[in-house]
Amino acid sequence: MYHALYHSPVGPLRIVADDAALKQLWLPNEVKSRRPENGWIENEAHPIIASVIRVLTEYFAGKRVDFNVIPCEPEGSEFQRAVWQRLRDIDYADVINYGAIAASVGRPKGAQAVGGAVGSNPIAIVLPCHRVLGKDGTLTGYSGGLDVKKALLALEGIPYKERN
């Protein structure tokens, strides 16, 4: 595995890739609490990592609206990967709710399970779990912290409701 630290407007992000795809993208709270594994090689010039850095730079500058140019291979169960693929399909500045994702992956009563899969998304931002809101447009939890979620939503011009 290869990794590099990217300094973004929402804080430091760790990019983790193998020779074929992006495997993980850690949010700032994860960068603070986790360390790269032994044997990982720090290399921001690695082709996948360099591509992710370029795409993220464009995104934070307001010049990129999709991440489909980045090959992603998150590791998880079949259900988790189905949910994460559905996240990838959410258009820039659009939102979806947990129930709609559940229905789209064939588990119409599985909104809570979808919430668990969304919360364990290993490739934040690129698989845009920040675009998942409550059914009524309410801001829901975010593994990277609500401040980061709010910043990403603001960057994309996505309105949301605060919880009471």
Residues marked active site are found at 129
CA proximity to 32, closest of 145, 164, 154? 145
CA proximity to 28, closest of 125, 127, 153, 118? 125
Compute CA 18 distance to the chain's CA centroid, rounded to the nearest angstrom.
18
**What are the angstrom distances between the C-alpha of 92 and each of 42, 142, 147?**
30, 18, 19
Whether 92 contacts 66, CB under 8 Å: yes
Report the alpha-carbon distance of residue 75 to residue 17 in Å, rounded: 12
